[in-house]
Homo-oligomer: A and B are copies of this chain.
Amino acid sequence: MAEQITCPGFKAAGVAAAIKYEGRKDLGLLFSERPATVAGVFTNNRVKAAPVLLDMERIKSGICHAVIANSGNANCCTGHQGYQDAVSMAKFAASALGVSEDTVFVASTGVIGAPLPINKIESAVPKLVKSLKLEGLSDLAEAIMTTDTVPKIIAKTGQIDGKTFTIAATAKGAGMIRPDMATMLCFVATDIQASSDDLSNMLFNSVERSFNRITIDGDTSTNDTVLLLANGESGIEITNDSARSIFQETLDEVLMQLARMLVQDGEGATKLVDIVVTGADSLENAKAVAFTVAHSNLVKTALFGEDANWGRIIGAAGRAGVPVDPDRIDIYFNDVKMVENGMGCGDAAEAEATSVIKLPEFEIKIDLKMGEEAYSAITCDFSIDYVKINADYRS
């Protein structure tokens, strides 16, 4: 299925360049045949990788012809040389593609602090450019994987004024994922045409509703980058609110689905859980409670242990730093009410909730009964494999 995902006017590729391991795709390219309008969201970590610094400069022009990305090395904390390497990486791609250097963006993901093996990238670029094809998005998706176990790729189409547009996107996640961030790397290609401002607004909105709602381990990457490229190939131009809202909705769906794929494939994760907070007196408070529960290691290990331990959930809600009234809180596992007014609903409810918690995907709803605001976060469980993966990852 993944093989057939394409977006008109975009080619992509992924090849093995032996950046960290031999014989595994680790260098990818997304190429728009005509210069695309571009919008981006970048990490808010104060420590920013060299490619992020470069892209934040280049995005000011609003034009992007290609994105070259590697896994296996984050090119972060690599000083002046690291920045030069990011510039070179773009230059190699630009010259092989015959486009202006300033229109090539760069993304890297992997270990922090190791020098980028730029010679290996230089040697692999000709092969990379030669393998560009319309159906290459799945190769790009593979090339940006680190601890991901499956590539993440998706496309959706929509209609505006009787014409069809496409949004195709790929992302990689797995670790160092928390909200108030884009996620690690995500490249979105679309064939609509829109102003740079419109694109930026719509991307910002969608990221807020998708990647900014998810948490895997509460850590924030130094390399997070979401780029949206729009090449106009469909002949559709976004010029009015009706078109804007159709495109926004489709973009939301694409990024939301990718965000859920990231959590499902979170490092060691065995469950995806929506943490829904309702009845809050403000959106900020709803968000604070949702993320405190979603980040709690005690909640996440209980999810892994399939123990419907609501005491840990209410305990986390209570330390969110916002006013809650413990004696009013209700908690549901899907439709099963486990807690009413801060107290357990008894053994029958507990038994039912225990069947819910065995599901691979379910919802925990926390009703604060203090107001009308709601927010939902998406989390996963915290497993023995998470620890194994992260105790061993670098070595």
Contact = CB atoms under 8 A, between A and B. Distances in A.
Interface of A: 44-48, 74, 76-79, 111-114, 175-176, 217-222, 295-298, 301-302, 304-305, 307, 309-312, 314-320, 323-324, 326-327, 339, 341-344, 382-384, 386-388, 390-395
A390 B297 CA distance: 9
Contact of A46 (B305, B319, B341): B319
Contact of A319 (B45, B112, B217): B45
19 contacts: A44-B319, A46-B320, A46-B323, A46-B324, A46-B326, A47-B317, A47-B342, A48-B318, A76-B315, A77-B344, A79-B342, A112-B312, A113-B311, A219-B297, A219-B298, A219-B315, A307-B392, A309-B394, A384-B384
A53 B310 CA distance: 21
A277 to B, nearest CB: 14
A324 B323 CA distance: 31
Contacts of A112: 309-312, 314-315
A387 B391 contact: no
A308 to B, nearest CB: 9
A218 to B, nearest CB: 6
B78 A326 contact: no
Given A48-B326, A113-B344, A219-B312, 10 more contacts: A45-B319, A47-B318, A77-B326, A77-B343, A79-B342, A79-B343, A113-B314, A302-B390, A307-B394, A309-B393
Say how many copies of this protein the assembly contains.
2
A329 to B, nearest CB: 8
Secondary structure call for the A interface:
loop
Nearest to A344: B113
A298 B46 contact: no
Contact of A315 (B221, B296, B305, B394): B221
A117 to B, nearest CB: 15
A274 to B, nearest CB: 20
A349 B15 CA distance: 34
Contacts of A44: 319
Contact of A74 (B311, B384, B388, B391): B311
Contact of A327 (B79, B297, B383, B386): B79
Contacts of A296: 218-219
A221 to B, nearest CB: 7
A64 to B, nearest CB: 26
A53 B341 CA distance: 17
Contacts of A74: 311
Nearest to A178: B319
A224 to B, nearest CB: 10
A320 B222 CA distance: 12
Nearest to A115: B344
Contacts of A395: 305, 307
A71 B249 CA distance: 52
A378 B244 CA distance: 51
A395 B357 CA distance: 14
A256 B151 CA distance: 48
A45 B320 CA distance: 8
